[in-house]
Amino acid sequence: CDNMSGNGGKLRAACVALARANDRALAEWIEREVAFPDSMVDSITPASDPAFLAHITHELGVSDTAAVQREGFSQWVLQRFDMIDGPDLASAGVTLTNDVRGYEQAKLRILNGAHSSLAYIGIALGLETVFEAMSDPGLEGFISRLVHSDIALSLKPVEGLDVPAYADAVLNRFRNPEIRHLLSQIAWDGSQKLPYRLLDTIQDELDAGRNIDRLAVPVAAWIAFVRRKAQAHQTITDPLADILAQAATGSDVATAMLSLRQVFPEKLATNPRFRHAVTEALLPFLDGQPETLLTR
């Protein structure tokens, strides 16, 4: 259910279709009696890389290739639904709400948006992990301003969610020295992540008439990231890898990348303010001076 909007309805459709293929009566019972509430989960769980597995072997004296690292924080948000007889989910820490979508959007834009921003800018600065990135004063300050002064403003009020407090909590989670979350892992599949994590926010800010200069920086950082990979003939971990590599190696990389409609919607990509902001922010990355952007 991670980052899949309307997951309850999707699960219902899948279960009913599977049941109907075998037992129509069962399918009708499921439709009538079973609840499929939308849900959202959150707990940072980085991929278990060789360094983490070696650490486990050193600490425990055993080799466990299935070991998982996860932060202590966890969140489970569930759509309110009628349940006559069942567990007291709220007492177990589950957040029951009529606005799962609001929580999803806060997570995608604040947590995931900040994660991707840290990744692409951090990699350009030569950093390796989220903790290292948050330990860099310039980058930490930039991300804090990005979250509180830009991303948070794009969110509508959410039942039971204190957005400034949530943003502070997310940033504190990024400062966890025990979680070795590689920026390179977060940077994977950028073409699939950017629209939900950053571009929707930028469109909302443009529609509201607000400044997007800070928000343009991580978008430019992604373009520069793809260009470096393509020019070095390194693997681009992305479903659109071949398309991205071709677009990123041309002389006018900003125009070529912003022309990819699989990533940038027409309305946003043709907005003069957006094009100018991204093109301007891209120059310091291409010149090897990304740190100059962190004062924004």
Domains contained in the chain, CATH given: 100-295 (1.10.1040.10)
Q: What's the DSSP call for residue 283? A: H
Check if the beta carbon of residue 278 is closer than 8 Å to that of residue 232: no
Structure token pair of residue 272: 């003069």
Calculate the average pLDDT of the chain.
96
Structure token pair of residue 187: 């940077």
Name, in order, each residue with C-beta under 8 angstroms of 212's C-beta and a sequence gap of 6 or more. Answer: 150, 202, 205, 206, 273, 274, 277
Q: Where does the pLDDT of residue 86 fall: very low under 50, low under 70, confident under 90, or very high at 90 and above?
A: confident
Counting beta carbons within 10 angstroms of the beta carbon of residue 260, is it exposed (0 to 12), middle (13 to 18) or buried (19 or more)? middle
Q: Where does the pLDDT of residue 4 fall: very low under 50, low under 70, confident under 90, or very high at 90 and above?
A: confident
pLDDT one-digit tens code per residue, 242-296: 999 999 998 999 999 999 999 999 999 999 999 999 999 999 999 999 999 999 9
Closest C-alpha to 115, from 60, 65, 69, 182: 182
Tokens 């946003």 -> residue: 268
- Give the helix ranges, DSSP H, for the chain: 7-20, 24-33, 50-60, 100-106, 113-124, 130-134, 137-145, 163-174, 183-186, 190-194, 200-207, 213-231, 241-248, 253-258, 266-269, 272-286
pLDDT one-digit tens code per residue, 33-68: 999 999 999 999 998 989 899 999 999 999 999 999
DSSP string, 108-135: IIIIIHHHHHHHHHHHHTT--BHHHHHT
Q: What does the pLDDT read at residue 5?
A: 85
End-to-end CA distance of the chain: 35
Strands 95-97 and 75-79: parallel
Segment (H or E) for 41? strand 39-42
User: HEC states along 55-87?
Assistant: HHHHHHCCCCCCCCCCCCCCEEEEECCCCCCCC
**Measured between alpha carbons, how far is 8 from 12 in angstroms, rounded to an integer?**
6
**Measured between alpha carbons, how far is 111 from 42 in angstroms, rounded to an integer?**
10
**Measured between alpha carbons, how far is 214 from 145 in angstroms, rounded to an integer?**
9
Q: Is 16 left (phi over 0), alpha (psi -120 to 50) or beta?
A: alpha
pTM of the model: 0.92
